[in-house]
Amino acid sequence: MRRRKTAVAAACCLALLLGTLLNVLFVPGSELPPPPPPPRDGAPPSPPGAPLEPPEEEGGGGRAALARQLRERYEEVLRYRQPRAAGVRRAVRPRERRLMDLAPARTSAEQQQQPRGRAAAERGRASAELGLEPPPLGCRELRAAGGVQYLGSGYTKAVYKAVLNRSLAVALKAVDFGGHDVARCVRQFAALADCYRLAAYKIVKEMVLLQRLRHANVLQLYGYCYQDSNDIPDTLTAITELGSPLEMIQLLQTSWEDRFRICLSLVRLLHYLAHSPLGSVTLLDFRPRQFVIVDGELKVTDLDDASIEESSCTSNSDCFMEFPARNFTLPCSIEGRCQNMNEKRNLYNAYRFFFTYLLPHSAPPSLRPLLDKIVNATGELHWGIDETAAQLERVLNLYKSGEYLQNTTRISKSEYRRVPEAFIPDENYRCWPSYHHKGCLLSVFDVNEAIEICDSYSQCKAFVLTNQTTWTGRQLVFFKAASNHIMPDPDKITYVKVTD
């Protein structure tokens, strides 16, 4: 009896062992993974860590997804192009046609699905001109460029400085092959040429917007050039006006007058964008690095992330704007659009990046109440861009005309002796903010204001009126710590303090 039980137990164990072995050997998916497929024609091998195949999506694989993105970018560019009168066709210039060649070609499967008439219309639409004017500068000037210097790069573009025609300093913008956008696209789709085209649409969009949005505070487009690069034919380089990077720390060390000019330039730009020929334009990537300074004026340089799309809504809760420190809910109009969302987004970004730092500090005391009112109203979005622009223009008028001095007591504490055609070369002391880093050089409306400033500094014993003026027409004045050495100078007038 015991032997029978032992045999039965042994048979059960053997059956269990055989079943487990069979499951391990023949379970689905137990085979070794297949080797990676060879690279597709014309595509670079996948970088380490990249998926073996582009991710599959509805309506086709990764290639179809990339084709959709290309078409969406192309159609976005067309929305910003120069409108033409109905039935009027303009001759396409050779350089313009190169831009049209960026139109995404349809696959053979897509062409078979469309009727012939629609396919022909589609080809005509793909060839539609982008409305760019003939560039004054192109490849011939670019080939002779000198002093090429790398300035920096972002997600999509690399920017260089160059000198054309031996005299004109310009900025060159081109797709950065090592940038985030191209690298991410190549990792996902393994198609360098198409990934380049996808990124190049951002430059084309920016070029179109630079020509459509003509304003003193929008960077000028000088031209563009196509040339072969990185084994890709017809890579695009945009040639634009050159500006200096906006460094906020340096701006905080400049005079209030120059900082006010930056804020005024920005508000004039935002007022134009709110009422532009394209409609209300918002800058989705609104940061100081998107702006440059040209001859003291602020100019927007990066427009590839600009948008004219107004958010649709069914209730006020759909019109929610979220910022790091504040959130806002705007009204939903009866047309189903969030009222002035593009304008308000620009304005609040101007407040948080510029106004709070640049407007109130070291401003003339009589202007500070108005400046504080402007900062508070924009920070709460109580005002729109029209009212904000009007109030800043009012500040400018008060400052240029000297009216801001009318409510101040201007009784001099000291007497001054006027010395015409004279200058004090040394005897400097430092003050802040100053137009001169080794001395105290300030702007004044008139001599009385210069006397008032000198009286307010204990170390000031004299001042020199120069023949130089600021952008507002105010006179630049050197304030001096002594008057021991007075030199002749026909262009200057010196005032020496004779009593304290």
Q: Give the model confidence (pLDDT) of 229-260 as tens digits.
A: 767 777 899 999 999 999 988 898 899 999 99
Chain mean pLDDT for the chain? 80
CATH number for region 416-497: 3.50.4.10
Strand ranges across the sheet with 462-469: 415-423, 487-499, 462-469, 475-480, 440-444
Q: Which residues contact 345 (CB under 8 A, 6 or more apart)?
A: 282, 286, 321
Question: Which of 9-13, 25-29, 196-200, 343-347 comes out lowest in average pLDDT?
Answer: 25-29
The values of phi and psi at residue 472, to 5°, are -90, 0
217 bridge partner residues: none
pLDDT over 90 at 384, yes or no: yes
Model confidence at 147: pLDDT above 80: yes
Residue ranges of alpha helices (H) inside 173-301 are: 180-189, 192-212, 248-252, 256-274
CA distance linking residue 439 with residue 465, whole number of Å: 14
Read off the pTM: 0.78
pLDDT surpasses 50 at 285: yes
Measured CA to CA, the distance from residue 64 to residue 118 in angstroms comes to 20
Percent of residues, the chain, with pLDDT higher than 90: 58
The predicted model gives 267-287 an average pLDDT of 95
Backbone angles phi, psi at 191, to 5 degrees: -140, 85
Between 61 and 1, residue with greater pLDDT: 61
- Whose tokens are 């004279």? That residue is 422
Q: What is the pLDDT of residue 409?
A: 60
Contact residues for 465 (Cβ-Cβ < 8 A; gap 6+): 447, 450, 475, 477, 492, 493, 494, 495
Please state, in angstroms and rounded to a whole number, the distance separating the CA atoms of residues 308 and 281. Answer: 5
Q: When comparing pLDDT for 487 and 34, which is higher?
A: 487
What is residue 312's predicted lDDT score, i.e. its pLDDT?
A: 92
In the chain, ranges of CATH 1.10.510.10 domains: 245-405
Give me the pLDDT at residue 109, please.
Answer: 39
Structure confidence at residue 370 (pLDDT): 96
Evaluate if residue 25 carries a pLDDT over 80.
no
Locate CATH 3.30.200.20 in the chain: 134-241
Report, at the CATH architecture level, how domain 245-405 is classified: Orthogonal Bundle (1.10)
Q: Is the pLDDT of residue 69 over 50?
A: yes
Residue 78 pLDDT level (bands cut at 50, 70, 90): confident
Question: How high is the pLDDT of residue 438?
Answer: 85
Comma-separated ranges of CATH 3.50.4.10 domains in the chain: 416-497
Catalytic positions are 285
Is the domain covering 134-241 a CATH 3.30.200.20 domain? yes
Question: In whole angstroms, how far apart are CA 22 and each of 12, 19, 25, 29, 68?
Answer: 15, 5, 5, 14, 47
Q: Quick one: which of 443, 492, 446, 440 has its CA closest to 466?
A: 492
Q: Is the pLDDT of residue 213 over 70?
A: yes
Greater pLDDT, 75 or 371:
371
